[in-house]
Amino acid sequence: MTPLVLDTTAIKRATTPERVLTTVRDALIAHAHGRTTVPPPLHLQFPDADGDCHVKVGWVTDTPDFTVKIATGFYRNPAAGLPTNHGLVCVVSARTGQIRAILDDQGLLTAWRTAAAGALATHAMARPDAATLAVFGTGEQARLQVEWLAKLRPIDTVLVHGRSQDKTGSLCEAFNALGLDARPAMADEAAAADMVITTTPATGPVLQAGDVRAGAHVTGIGTDMPHKNELPPALFARAALIATDDHQQCLDHGDFGHAVRAGATTDTSDTPVGLLLERPVERPDDAITVADLTGVGALDAALASAVLAELAP
Amino acid sequence: MTPLVLDTTAIKRATTPERVLTTVRDALIAHAHGRTTVPPPLHLQFPDADGDCHVKVGWVTDTPDFTVKIATGFYRNPAAGLPTNHGLVCVVSARTGQIRAILDDQGLLTAWRTAAAGALATHAMARPDAATLAVFGTGEQARLQVEWLAKLRPIDTVLVHGRSQDKTGSLCEAFNALGLDARPAMADEAAAADMVITTTPATGPVLQAGDVRAGAHVTGIGTDMPHKNELPPALFARAALIATDDHQQCLDHGDFGHAVRAGATTDTSDTPVGLLLERPVERPDDAITVADLTGVGALDAALASAVLAELAP
Please tell me which of the candidates A5, A62, A94 has its beta carbon nearest to residue B5. Answer: A5
Contact at 8 Å (CB) between A223 and A231? yes
Please tell me which of the candidates A5, A53, A66 has its beta carbon nearest to residue B3. Answer: A5
- Distance in angstroms (rounded) separating the CA atoms of residues B82 and B68: 24
Beta strands of A28-146 (E only): which ranges?
A: 36-37, 42-46, 51-60, 65-74, 85-93, 99-104, 132-136
Q: How many helices (H) and strands (E) does chain A have?
A: 11, 15
Cβ neighbours of residue B111 under 8 Å, at least 6 residues apart?
B140, B141, B144
Please tell me which of the candidates B77, B86, B96 has its beta carbon nearest to residue A99. Answer: B86
pLDDT at B40 over 90: no
Question: What is the model's pLDDT at position B313?
Answer: 66
> Which residues of B fall within a CB distance of 8 Å from A96?
49, 51, 74, 77, 80, 82, 86
Q: How would you classify the pairing of strands A85-93 and A217-220? A: unpaired
Please tell me which of the candidates B46, B82, B97 has its beta carbon nearest to residue A74. Answer: B97
Write A70-73 long-range contacts (CB < 8 A, 24+). Answer: A70/B68, A70/B90, A70/B92, A70/B99, A71/A107, A71/A110, A72/B92, A72/B97, A72/B98, A72/B99, A73/B97
Q: By C-alpha distance, which of B235, B233, B243 is closest to B283?
A: B243
Q: By C-alpha distance, which of A237, A233, A235, A244 is closest to A217?
A: A235
Q: Which of A4, A6, A7, A42 to mutate to test the interface with B (most CBs of B within 10 A)?
A: A42
- Distance in angstroms (rounded) separating the CA atoms of residues A148 and A20: 10
Confidence at B106, pLDDT banded by 50, 70, 90: confident
Mind listing the pLDDT tens digit for each residue in B65-74? 999 999 999 9
Q: By C-alpha distance, which of A85, A91, A69, A40 is closest to B39?
A: A40
Degrees, nearest 5: CA angle B174-B179-B181: 80
Closest residue in B to A43 (Cα) is B39
Between these two residues, A84 and B128, which has the higher pLDDT value?
B128
> Which residues of A fall within a CB distance of 8 Å from B49?
94-97
pLDDT at B176 over 90: yes
Per-residue pLDDT, averaged over B12-18, amounts to: 91
Please tell me which of the candidates A51, A77, A97 has its beta carbon nearest to residue B51. Answer: A97
Closest residue in A to B43 (Cα) is A39
Cβ–Cβ pairs < 8 A, chains A and B = 132
- What backbone torsions phi and psi does residue B295 show, to the nearest 5 degrees? 100, 120
Closest residue in B to A41 (Cα) is B42
Closest residue in A to B72 (Cα) is A97
- Distance in angstroms (rounded) separating the CA atoms of residues A302 and A137: 27
Residue B87 to chain A, least CA–CA distance (Å): 6
Across the interface, whether the CB atoms of B98 and A72 are under 8 A apart is answered yes
Question: What is the model's pLDDT at position A311?
Answer: 82
How crowded is residue B80: how many other Cβ atoms within 10 Å of its Cβ? Answer: 9
Say which DSSP state A183 is in: E
Contact at 8 Å (CB) between A217 and A242? no
The CA–CA distances, whole Å, from A43 to A30, A49, A90, B98 equal 26, 15, 17, 16
Degrees, nearest 5: CA angle B148-B28-B235: 75
Paired residues of A163 in beta bridges: none
Confidence at B116, pLDDT banded by 50, 70, 90: very high
Paired residues of A56 in beta bridges: A69
Coil/strand/helix, residue A203 = strand
Q: What number of CA atoms fall less than 13 Å from residue B127's CA on the CB side?
A: 17
- Distance in angstroms (rounded) separating the CA atoms of residues B102 and B181: 39
Q: How would you classify the pairing of strands A270-272 and B217-220? A: unpaired
How crowded is residue B25: how many other Cβ atoms within 10 Å of its Cβ? Answer: 20
Question: What is the model's pLDDT at position A1?
Answer: 59
Across the interface, whether the CB atoms of A51 and B97 are under 8 A apart is answered yes
Radius of gyration of chain B (CA): 19
Question: What is the model's pLDDT at position A83?
Answer: 87
Please tell me which of the candidates B3, B44, B62 has its beta carbon nearest to residue A57. Answer: B44
Across the interface, whether the CB atoms of B53 and A92 are under 8 A apart is answered yes
Computed over every residue of chain B, the mean pLDDT equals 94
Coil/strand/helix, residue B261 = helix
- Distance in angstroms (rounded) separating the CA atoms of residues A272 and A124: 12
Please tell me which of the candidates B42, B48, B49 has its beta carbon nearest to residue A57. Answer: B42
Across the interface, whether the CB atoms of B55 and A68 are under 8 A apart is answered yes
Per-residue pLDDT, averaged over B157-163, amounts to: 97
- Distance in angstroms (rounded) separating the CA atoms of residues B246 and B8: 28
Residue A94 to chain B, least CA–CA distance (Å): 7
Across the interface, whether the CB atoms of A42 and B57 are under 8 A apart is answered yes
Write A186-191 long-range contacts (CB < 8 A, 24+). Answer: A186/A161, A187/A136, A187/A161, A187/A211, A189/A134, A189/A159, A190/A134, A190/A135, A190/A136, A190/A159, A190/A160, A190/A161, A191/A134
How crowded is residue B82: how many other Cβ atoms within 10 Å of its Cβ? Answer: 16
Residue A270 to chain B, least CA–CA distance (Å): 28
- Distance in angstroms (rounded) separating the CA atoms of residues B177 and B181: 9
Closest residue in A to B89 (Cα) is A90
Question: What is the model's pLDDT at position A312?
Answer: 72
End-to-end CA distance of chain B: 17
Closest residue in A to B6 (Cα) is A2
Question: What is the model's pLDDT at position B104?
Answer: 92
Coil/strand/helix, residue A127 = coil
Coil/strand/helix, residue B212 = coil
pLDDT at B2 over 80: no
Q: By C-alpha distance, which of B284, B250, B279, B292 is closest to B267?
A: B250
Residue B144 to chain A, least CA–CA distance (Å): 24
pLDDT at B41 over 90: no
Mind listing the pLDDT tens digit for each residue in B226-284? 889 999 999 999 999 999 999 999 999 999 999 999 999 999 999 999 999 999 998 99
Return per-residue pLDDT of chain A as tens, 313 residues: 578 899 999 999 999 999 999 999 999 999 999 999 998 888 889 999 999 999 999 999 989 999 999 999 998 998 999 988 889 999 999 999 999 999 999 889 999 999 999 999 999 999 999 999 999 999 999 999 999 999 999 999 999 999 999 999 999 999 999 999 999 999 999 999 999 999 999 999 999 999 999 999 999 999 888 889 999 999 999 999 999 999 999 999 999 999 999 999 999 999 999 999 999 999 999 999 999 999 998 999 999 999 998 887 6
Percent of chain B that is helix, strand, coil (3-state, to 5)? 40, 25, 35
Residues in chain A whose Cβ is within 8 Å of chain B: 2-3, 5, 7, 37, 39, 41-44, 46, 48-49, 51, 53, 55, 57, 59, 62, 66, 68, 70, 72-74, 77, 80, 82, 85-88, 90, 92, 94-99, 102, 104
Question: What is the model's pLDDT at position A224?
Answer: 83
Distance of CA A154 to the CA centre of its chain: 20
Q: Which of B67, B92, B100 to mutate to test the interface with A (most CBs of A within 10 A)?
A: B92
Residue B125 to chain A, least CA–CA distance (Å): 34
Residue A7 to chain B, least CA–CA distance (Å): 7
- Distance in angstroms (rounded) separating the CA atoms of residues A9 and B31: 42
Residue B282: Cβ-neighbour burial (10 angstroms; 0-12, 13-18, 19+): exposed
Per-residue pLDDT, averaged over B175-180, amounts to: 97
- Distance in angstroms (rounded) separating the CA atoms of residues B128 and B289: 13
Residue B4 to chain A, least CA–CA distance (Å): 10
The CA–CA distances, whole Å, from B81 to A64, A95, A196, A243 equal 19, 13, 54, 46
Across the interface, whether the CB atoms of B90 and A104 are under 8 A apart is answered no
Kindly list the structural domains of chain A, giving each domain's residue range(s) and its CATH number in brackets, ordered by start: 4-109+298-311 (3.30.1780.10), 115-292 (3.40.50.720)
Residue B266 to chain A, least CA–CA distance (Å): 32
Q: In sequence order, what DSSP letters do the residues of B94-148 get, joined into one string? A: TTT--EEEEEE-TTHHHHHHHHHHHHHHHHHHS-TT--EEEEE--SHHHHHHHHH
Per-residue pLDDT, averaged over B169-197, amounts to: 98
Question: What is the model's pLDDT at position A313?
Answer: 66
Contact at 8 Å (CB) between A31 and A294? no
Closest residue in A to B37 (Cα) is A44
The CA–CA distances, whole Å, from A139 to A199, B203, B234, B241 equal 8, 56, 65, 61
Degrees, nearest 5: CA angle B264-B270-B275: 160
Residue A35 to chain B, least CA–CA distance (Å): 13
